[in-house]
């Protein structure tokens, strides 16, 4: 690691390559917010026609650095060179005119405007002396760009809200090409994509590279970074830890650089599965159909044994979330037909949350902000949510604050929630700590069944490790676990068995020994492997 | 605590600005302040009459604050207290022969029940029909006023009186004022309403009921996901709000007028909104905030009499400025933020 650091520092500025001028060079960038230093003396170079990946935990300062480059923040110290020329951006529009473009994690598109208008807004080609917007000129230019960079896109007249996530992303990239960007900054572009769409994204990015564009990619996903980048820069707590050529690195080394200690993401102490054959399943779902929040599912059946993790895989909108809700919040998801849901021998198809809690079911909802937490309230208040009928925390109409906060303290300790005091307000915590708080709550009453959705969405690597370990530990103690995740990687790592959903139906079941990312991805796309 | 200090700052700024206006028109602010304080607290009688304003405001303030916890805006306290008062008066007139203790208890319950049903209906409409509580509770105010005038004019009218008022309630129902207030009509209502506030404070902060209210107010979706019925919370909180407003019957009908007078309330239900706003929905703070508004209300008449250049309208200025001062709190913190950001930018070394 020391050698990596030396290499990174040694590469900063003094040994200037006389032949190739860097497309982007950051020199000693420091950015402070009050007393907090978000970026400390960061220097890096991006060669033209290369893909430079920026990795680091949440809050490490990657986004700040990119926002400095994009002109959203002015650096307190340091210089930016574009094509060897010193520049100073006071606003994103200045960065854009210098050829820098950014695709944000949450796309900056107006849903109720057409794809074409979204691209040209702010850079409208005009005719008749700057009076009338010339959409046809824009269309011609865009079509030739799409052809040149092999990014197929035809639906210029469709509204953005009708486009798929993948299409929106391509639209964002075309938007930058239309503005003649030379440097592309992409913030977590694959977070919302399926493996197939991700693959396609990187095909597009490769084409951009081949035609001389430079790409800066922020990502959590070390695998794709290792596969597609030319150089990787690791940032930790605002400092540049290392810049390494991709071929000299591997996943384990990167994770270690990011977190600052050894991390196990894959081999989390799997052990042989329970000999389940003689035990009754903890969850038995038989022929259930229904719909919830516009997402339907038909004739779904499965069982989960104690000590088993069943993964639910599927592209968003194909039924996984609705099935999860039918299990975790039965009263709020309409079911039709004859099907039945049994947990621990009890019919739970009409159970309310307290009933589930009583028979020993713990739930981690899918959307922590919408369904999981009260963000303006403390850990104590949030810990009580869903446990209002728990005898430990209640006597008559009164809350047993003492018992409650003692239990919160225990959760803080065993899940390493930070800040580590029970009155900490959830809204000021990082996503990882919010997620840990939900997990601590769900596991508080030692449930025999755990229903867990998106346990690590938007969570940094250190927290991911802890959360995954906790899930596996619960499984090893004999809990039956249903796991819903959009991260296929996570499902593959954790599940013992996987069900793949497409258009509301289970299209394929994969046992552990048949897990294959590509095959599962295909099944998610609707074709049987 | 910091929030409380900021609120005090807002109140102070509003009061200061109001007194500034007084100075501008040529009255000594100190004199105005003295008149306000003297007329409110100068002697036992003044204190008693100030409390006669403060107690109903305490009730309506809580009536606004409690649904606010659950994310509802109760603008219907005025209608709820009207219904509560007419219910209590009607019961008292229809059942004149009860023993004193029993009579007062029955009348208090009648008031709370009438107001509670009136408020609960608003919650029920929202729960079953999705009607917005602001619209329905405003409309219910008008219905309450019309209903009350019908009842008072056609059922329990005092035939000897020219005013729109009911018969005098039987003496068993009359709650005698305490002699320490030297003739001001304030008595049992004070400890009872304080006790209600005390219980409600703990119910909100420490009970499962209070938690459910807060959960729905903070994150309706998460609350529902975790088994809390928001519909039930809506109905319960609005019914409780109505019952609190209906309790105004105790100080006003049973303790003061001994009859229902049409239009007896000087807008308690609406001032209650301001009381709850200044107190930021915390019951402990409603205690002083209700007193503050009572002082202003009380002082208005004295300002009319005792100064030459001011009339009671100055008090509405001050009330409005206090509300502005408190709600500008958001603005102030923005200003602080902005100044901090600017000084930071200035401190940056030019690169």
Residue A13's pLDDT band (boundaries 50, 70, 90)?
very low
Distance from CA of B223 to the nearest CA of A (A): 7
A281-524 and A2-99+182-259 share a CATH fold: yes
**pLDDT value, residue A215:** 94
Q: What would the two tokens of residue A251 be?
A: 């996943």
- Give B-chain residues touching A372 at CB under 8 angstroms: 222, 225
What average pLDDT score do residues B274-286 get? 91
Q: What would the two tokens of residue A502 be?
A: 């497409």
B237: alpha, beta or left? (left if phi > 0; alpha if psi -120 to 50): alpha
ipTM: 0.85
> CB contact, 8 Å: A74 with chain B?
yes
> CB contact, 8 Å: A388 with chain B?
yes
Residue B211 to residue A386, Cβ atoms within 8 A: no
Q: Are residues B288 and B313 in the same domain?
A: no
**pLDDT value, residue A264:** 67
What span, in angstroms and rounded, lies between the C-alpha atoms of A48 and A102? Answer: 17
Angle at B103 between CA B100 and CA B108, to 5 degrees: 125
Q: What would the two tokens of residue B76 be?
A: 């219907």
Q: What letter does residue A369 receive in the DSSP assignment?
A: I
> CB contact, 8 Å: A71 with chain B?
no
| Short-list A395, A373, A462, CA closest to A60 | A462
Q: Are residues B288 and B333 in the same domain?
A: no
Return the residue in A385, A392, A393 with the most chain B beta carbons within 10 A, the one to mutate for interface testing: A385
With 90 as the cut, is the pLDDT of residue A440 above it?
Answer: yes
CA atoms within a 13 Å half-sphere pointing along the CA-CB vector of B345: 9
Q: What letter does residue B262 receive in the DSSP assignment?
A: T
> CB contact, 8 Å: A395 with chain B?
no
Torsion of CA B38, B40, B43, B49, to 10 degrees: 150
A287 and A300 Cβ atoms separated by less than 8 Å: yes
**pLDDT value, residue B349:** 42
Q: Is residue B34 part of a domain?
A: no
> CB contact, 8 Å: B346 with chain A?
no
Cβ contacts of residue A240 below 8 Å, gap of 6+?
A8, A41, A42, A43, A44, A233, A234
Q: What would the two tokens of residue B249 be?
A: 């019957």
Q: What would the two tokens of residue A485 be?
A: 């995740």
Topology given in CATH for the domain delimited by A281-524: Rossmann fold (3.40.50)
* Alpha-carbon dihedral sign for residues A508, A360, A351, A397: negative
Domain ranges of chain A: 2-99+182-259, 111-181, 281-524
With 80 as the cut, is the pLDDT of residue A371 above it?
Answer: yes
Q: Which of B207, B224, B344 sits opposite A398 (nearest CB)?
A: B207
- State phi, psi for A468 to the nearest 5 degrees: -65, -40
What span, in angstroms and rounded, lies between the C-alpha atoms of B176 and B154? Answer: 28
Cβ contacts of residue A468 below 8 Å, gap of 6+?
A265, A268, A455, A456, A490, A493, A494
> CB contact, 8 Å: A386 with chain B?
yes
> CB contact, 8 Å: B99 with chain A?
no
Closest-CA residue in chain A for B215?
A374
List strand residue ranges (DSSP E) for A56-177, in order: 77-82, 85-87, 100-103, 126-127, 132-133
A 10 A CB-CB count for A26 gives 24
Helix (H) or strand (E) holding B28: none
> CB contact, 8 Å: A370 with chain B?
yes
**pLDDT value, residue B222:** 94
pLDDT in tens, A105-128: 777 888 888 998 888 887 777 777
Q: What would the two tokens of residue A45 be?
A: 């170079």
Residue B312's pLDDT band (boundaries 50, 70, 90)?
confident
A 10 A CB-CB count for B39 gives 21
Q: What would the two tokens of residue A49 be?
A: 């026609």
**pLDDT value, residue B191:** 96
Q: Are residues B9 and B75 in the same domain?
A: no
pLDDT in tens, A295-304: 889 999 999 9
Q: What would the two tokens of residue A385 be?
A: 């949510």
Closest-CA residue in chain B for A376?
B218
Residue in the structure block whose two tokens are 């008292």: B92
Which CATH number do you get for residue B226?
1.10.3470
Average pLDDT score, chain A: 86
Q: Please report, rounded to a whole number, the percentage of residues in chain A having pLDDT higher than 70.
A: 92
**pLDDT value, residue B223:** 95
What span, in angstroms and rounded, lies between the C-alpha atoms of A100 and A218? Answer: 15
What average pLDDT score do residues A288-307 get? 89
Q: Which of A88, A370, A385 sits opposite B226 (nearest CB)?
A: A385
* Helix, strand or coil, per DSSP, at residue A161: helix
Concatenate the DSSP letters of all residues of A167-208 into one string. HHHHHHHHHHHHTT-SEEEEESTTTT--HHHHHHHHHHHHHH
Residue B276's pLDDT band (boundaries 50, 70, 90)?
very high
Q: Are residues B329 and B221 in the same domain?
A: no
A295: alpha, beta or left? (left if phi > 0; alpha if psi -120 to 50): beta
Q: What would the two tokens of residue A463 be?
A: 């927290």
**pLDDT value, residue A72:** 87
Closest-CA residue in chain B for A367?
B222
Number of domains chain B is built from: 2
Torsion of CA A460, A466, A472, A477, to 10 degrees: -150
What average pLDDT score do residues A40-47 get? 92
* Helix, strand or coil, per DSSP, at residue A450: strand
Q: Is residue B13 part of a domain?
A: yes
Q: Is the peptide bond before A395 cis (omega within 30 degrees of 0)?
A: no
The Cα-based distances of A143 to A8, A166, A230 in angstroms read: 41, 18, 29
User: Cα–chain-centroid distance for residue B250?
Assistant: 14
Considering only A15-19, B52-56, B254-258, which range has the smallest mean pLDDT?
Answer: A15-19
> CB contact, 8 Å: A179 with chain B?
no
Q: What letter does residue A1 receive in the DSSP assignment?
A: -
> CB contact, 8 Å: B350 with chain A?
no
Residue A331's pLDDT band (boundaries 50, 70, 90)?
confident
Q: Is residue B32 part of a domain?
A: no
- Hey, which residues 334-353 in chain A have their CB within 8 Å of chain B? 352-353
Q: Which of B215, B344, B351 sits opposite A385 (nearest CB)?
A: B215
Q: Are residues B156 and B190 in the same domain?
A: yes
Q: Please report, rounded to a whole number, the percentage of residues in chain B having pLDDT higher than 70.
A: 93
**CATH placement of domain A2-99+182-259:** 3.40.50.300
- Give B-chain residues touching A377 at CB under 8 angstroms: 214, 218
Q: Are residues B161 and B290 in the same domain?
A: yes
Q: Are residues B122 and B23 in the same domain?
A: no
> CB contact, 8 Å: B130 with chain A?
no
> CB contact, 8 Å: B225 with chain A?
yes
Q: Which of B207, B208, B348 sits opposite A76 (nearest CB)?
A: B348
In DSSP terms, which residues pair with A100 in a beta bridge?
A: A183
Q: Are residues B179 and B283 in the same domain?
A: yes
pLDDT in tens, A352-365: 999 999 999 999 99
What average pLDDT score do residues A221-247 get? 89
Cβ contacts of residue A424 below 8 Å, gap of 6+?
A378, A379, A417
List strand residue ranges (DSSP E) for A326-419, in order: 334-336, 340-343, 346-347, 361-364, 394-395, 398-399
Q: Are residues B284 and B199 in the same domain?
A: yes
Distance from CA of A318 to the nearest CA of B (A): 21
Residue B341's pLDDT band (boundaries 50, 70, 90)?
low
Residue A78 to residue B349, Cβ atoms within 8 A: no
Q: Are residues B291 and B311 in the same domain?
A: no
Long-range contact list for B127-131, CB < 8 A, 24+ apart? B127/B230, B127/B231, B127/B232, B127/B234, B127/B235, B128/B231
Q: Is residue B33 part of a domain?
A: no
Distance from CA of A306 to the nearest CA of B (A): 24
pLDDT in tens, A482-498: 999 988 888 999 999 99
**pLDDT value, residue A275:** 47
Residue in the structure block whose two tokens are 């951006």: A89
Helix (H) or strand (E) holding A292: strand A283-292
What span, in angstroms and rounded, lies between the C-alpha atoms of A319 and A336? Answer: 14
Closest-CA residue in chain B for A365?
B225
What average pLDDT score do residues B186-211 get? 95
> CB contact, 8 Å: B178 with chain A?
no
What span, in angstroms and rounded, lies between the C-alpha atoms of A296 and B128? Answer: 26
What span, in angstroms and rounded, lies between the C-alpha atoms of B251 and B55? Answer: 7
> CB contact, 8 Å: A77 with chain B?
yes
Q: Which of A88, A329, A398 sits opposite B351 (nearest CB)?
A: A88
Distance from CA of A459 to the nearest CA of B (A): 20
A462 and A56 Cβ atoms separated by less than 8 Å: no
Residue A370 to residue B215, Cβ atoms within 8 A: no
Question: Which residues form the domain of B12?
Answer: 1-27+307-351
Q: Are residues B168 and B129 in the same domain?
A: yes
Residues recorded for chain B = 351
Q: Please report, rounded to a whole number, the percentage of residues in chain A having pLDDT higher than 90.
A: 43
What span, in angstroms and rounded, lies between the C-alpha atoms of A436 and A299? Answer: 33
Residue B72's pLDDT band (boundaries 50, 70, 90)?
very high
Residue A465's pLDDT band (boundaries 50, 70, 90)?
confident
Q: Are residues B333 and B234 in the same domain?
A: no
With 50 as the cut, is the pLDDT of residue A11 above it?
Answer: no
Average pLDDT score, chain B: 90
**pLDDT value, residue A269:** 53
The Cα-based distances of A4 to A42, A112, A154 in angstroms read: 15, 48, 45
Residue A353 to residue B348, Cβ atoms within 8 A: no
Q: Is residue B85 part of a domain?
A: yes
């Amino acid at each position: 690691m020391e050698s990596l650091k030396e290499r990174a520092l040694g590469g900063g500025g003094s040994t200037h390559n006389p032949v190739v001028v860097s497309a982007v060079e950051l020199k000693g960038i420091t950015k402070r917010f009050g007393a907090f230093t978000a970026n400390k003396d960061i220097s890096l170079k991006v060669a033209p026609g290369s893909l430079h990946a920026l990795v680091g935990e949440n809050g490490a300062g990657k986004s700040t650095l990119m926002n400095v480059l994009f002109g959203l923040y002015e650096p307190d110290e340091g210089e930016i060179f574009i094509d060897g020329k010193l520049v100073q951006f006071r606003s994103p529009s200045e960065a854009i005119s210098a050829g820098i473009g950014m695709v944000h994690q949450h796309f900056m598109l107006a849903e109720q405007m057409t794809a074409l208008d979204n691209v040209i807004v702010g850079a409208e080609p005009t005719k008749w002396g700057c009076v009338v917007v010339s959409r046809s000129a824009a269309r011609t230019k865009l079509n030739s760009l799409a052809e040149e960079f092999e990014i197929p896109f035809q639906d210029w007249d469709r509204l953005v809200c009708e486009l798929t996530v993948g299409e929106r992303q391509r639209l964002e990239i075309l938007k930058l090409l239309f503005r003649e960007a030379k440097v592309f900054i992409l913030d977590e572009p694959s977070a919302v994509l399926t493996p197939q769409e991700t693959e396609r994204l990187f095909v597009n990015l490769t084409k951009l590279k081949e035609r001389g564009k430079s790409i800066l990619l922020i990502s959590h996903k070390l695998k794709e970074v290792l596969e597609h980048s030319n150089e990787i820069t690791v940032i930790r707590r605002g400092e540049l830890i290392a810049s390494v050529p991709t071929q000299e690195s591997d996943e384990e080394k990167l994770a270690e650089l990011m977190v600052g200690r050894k991390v196990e993401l894959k081999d989390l102490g799997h052990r042989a599965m329970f000999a389940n054959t003689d035990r009754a399943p903890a969850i038995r779902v038989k022929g259930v159909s229904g719909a919830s929040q516009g997402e339907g599912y038909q004739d779904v059946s499965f069982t989960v044994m104690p000590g088993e993790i069943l993964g639910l895989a599927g592209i968003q909108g194909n039924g996984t979330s609705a099935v999860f809700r039918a299990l975790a919040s039965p009263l709020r998801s309409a079911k039709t037909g004859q099907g039945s849901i049994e947990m621990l021998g009890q019919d739970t198809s009409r159970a309310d949350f307290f009933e589930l809690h009583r028979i020993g079911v713990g739930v981690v909802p899918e959307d922590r902000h919408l369904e999981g937490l009260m963000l303006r309230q403390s850990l104590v208040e949030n810990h009580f949510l869903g446990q209002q009928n728990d005898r430990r925390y209640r006597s008559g109409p009164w809350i047993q604050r003492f018992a409650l906060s003692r239990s919160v303290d225990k959760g803080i300790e065993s899940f390493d929630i930070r800040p580590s005091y029970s009155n900490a307000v959830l809204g000021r915590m990082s996503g990882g700590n919010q997620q840990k708080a939900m997990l601590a709550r769900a596991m508080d009453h030692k449930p025999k069944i755990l229903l867990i959705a998106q346990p690590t969405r938007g969570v940094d690597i250190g927290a991911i490790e802890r959360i995954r370990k906790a899930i596996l530990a619960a499984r090893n103690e004999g809990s039956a676990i249903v796991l819903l995740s959009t991260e296929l990687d996570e499902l593959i790592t954790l599940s013992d068995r996987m069900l793949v959903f497409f258009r509301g139906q289970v299209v394929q079941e994969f046992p552990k020994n048949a897990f294959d990312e590509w095959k599962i991805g295909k099944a998610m796309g609707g074709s049987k492997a | 605590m910091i929030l409380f200090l900021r609120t005090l700052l807002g109140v102070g700024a509003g009061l200061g600005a109001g007194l500034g206006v007084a100075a501008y028109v040529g009255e000594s602010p100190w004199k105005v302040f003295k008149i306000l304080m003297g007329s409110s607290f100068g002697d036992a009688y003044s204190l008693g009459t100030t409390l006669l304003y403060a107690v109903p405001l305490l009730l309506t303030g809580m009536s606004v604050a409690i649904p606010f916890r659950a994310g509802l805006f109760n603008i219907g306290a005025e209608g709820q207290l009207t219904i509560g008062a007419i219910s209590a008066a009607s019961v008292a007139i229809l059942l004149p022969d009860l023993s004193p203790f029993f009579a007062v208890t029955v009348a208090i319950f009648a008031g709370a029940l009438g107001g509670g049903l009136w408020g609960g209906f608003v919650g029920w409409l929202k729960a079953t029909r999705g009607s917005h509580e602001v619209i329905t509770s405003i409309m219910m105010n008008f219905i309450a006023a019309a209903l009350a005038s019908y009842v008072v004019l056609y059922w329990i009218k005092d035939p000897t009186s020219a005013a729109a008022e009911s018969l005098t309630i039987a003496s068993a129902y009359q709650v005698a004022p305490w002699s320490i207030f030297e003739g001001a009509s304030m008595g049992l209502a004070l400890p009872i309403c304080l006790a209600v506030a005390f219980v409600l404070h703990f119910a909100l902060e420490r009970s499962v009921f209070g938690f459910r209210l807060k959960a729905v107010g903070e994150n309706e979706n998460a609350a529902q996901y975790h088994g809390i019925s928001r519909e039930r919370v809506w109905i319960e909180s609005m019914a409780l709000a109505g019952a609190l407003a209906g309790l105004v019957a105790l100080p006003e009908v049973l303790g003061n007028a001994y009859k229902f007078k049409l239009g007896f309330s000087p807008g308690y239900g609406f001032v209650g909104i301001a009381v709850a706003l200044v107190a930021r929905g915390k019951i402990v703070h409603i205690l002083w905030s209700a007193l503050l508004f009572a002082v202003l209300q009380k002082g208005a008449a004295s300002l009319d009499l005792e100064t030459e250049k001011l009339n009671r309208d100055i008090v509405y200025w001050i009330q409005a400025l206090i509300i502005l001062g408190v709600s500008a709190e958001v603005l102030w913190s923005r200003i602080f933020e902005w100044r901090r950001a600017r000084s930071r930018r200035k401190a940056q070394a030019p690169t």
